[in-house]
Chains A and B, each alone.
Chain A
Amino acid sequence: DTAVSQTPKYLVTQMGNDKSIKCEQNLGHDTMYWYKQDSKKFLKIMFSYNNKELIINETVPNRFSPKSPDKAHLNLHINSLELGDSAVYFCASSQDGSTGELFFGEGSRLTVL
């Protein structure tokens, strides 16, 4: 059983489309995150949710909207996709948001044409 699972693993789409990436964790953790890793391999946090409440929202365009239906799921919806959104998106979770031991998913590679 994968602890943090993301779907889809690969996503190729056209500019202007709307797409979603789903994330589920079966670890019983309270906190979930979305990270973005760009072509230069920098890994940056986008959002953090604790028990379905938004905790961290870094400087991310409002075209990106996280949705947490329950504490085991944190989905990422992206509107009006742009070329610069091409990246690998990683979902993660942690039990204790303060000490920050994170469990990452395998990533979802988004390519915008």
Chain B
Amino acid sequence: DAKTTQPNSMESNEEEPVHLPCNHSTISGTDYIHWYRQLPSQGPEYVIHGLTSNVNNRMASLAIAEDRKSSTLILHRATLRDAAVYYCIHGGSQGNLIFGKGTKLSVKP
């Protein structure tokens, strides 16, 4: 099983940056690192993914450690709509992504 370790919960203030850590020490050389988030009563939503280099998109940035055993999802300015459970996953073959418990992010106004 592909396993990751994330804090159960984190808090942030609105308009401030948030750094969500993830350990994935068992990652294989070909596994991508994926981040998804799940807002209340909705399906998971893709956030970002990467292999070795840091990645940026309109939602977030992904910083990947050189040894690839950990990564950090960075939300540059948290908003109330970013309150969700964030899942860090390293992908098995054929899209068989195994979701862990994730980090529940709370954003305070």
Contact = CB atoms under 8 A, between A and B. Distances in A.
Given A101-B49, A102-B44, A104-B45, A42 B94 contact: no
Contacts of B98: 44-45
B46 A56 contact: no
Interface in A55-113: 55-56, 90, 92, 94, 96-107
A37 B51 CA distance: 27
A43 interface: yes
Interface residues of B, number: 23
B57 to A, nearest CB: 11
Interface residues of A, number: 28
B45 A56 contact: no
Interface of A: 4, 31, 33, 35, 41-45, 48, 50, 55-56, 90, 92, 94, 96-107
Given A98-B94, A102-B46, 4 more contacts: A41-B101, A42-B99, A90-B44, A99-B49
Interface of B: 32, 34, 36, 38, 41-46, 49, 85, 87, 91, 93-99, 101-102
30 contacts: A41-B85, A42-B99, A42-B101, A44-B98, A44-B99, A45-B97, A45-B98, A48-B94, A48-B95, A90-B44, A92-B43, A92-B44, A96-B95, A98-B91, A98-B95, A99-B49, A99-B91, A100-B91, A100-B94, A100-B96, A101-B49, A102-B36, A102-B44, A102-B95, A102-B97, A103-B46, A104-B45, A106-B43, A107-B41, A107-B43
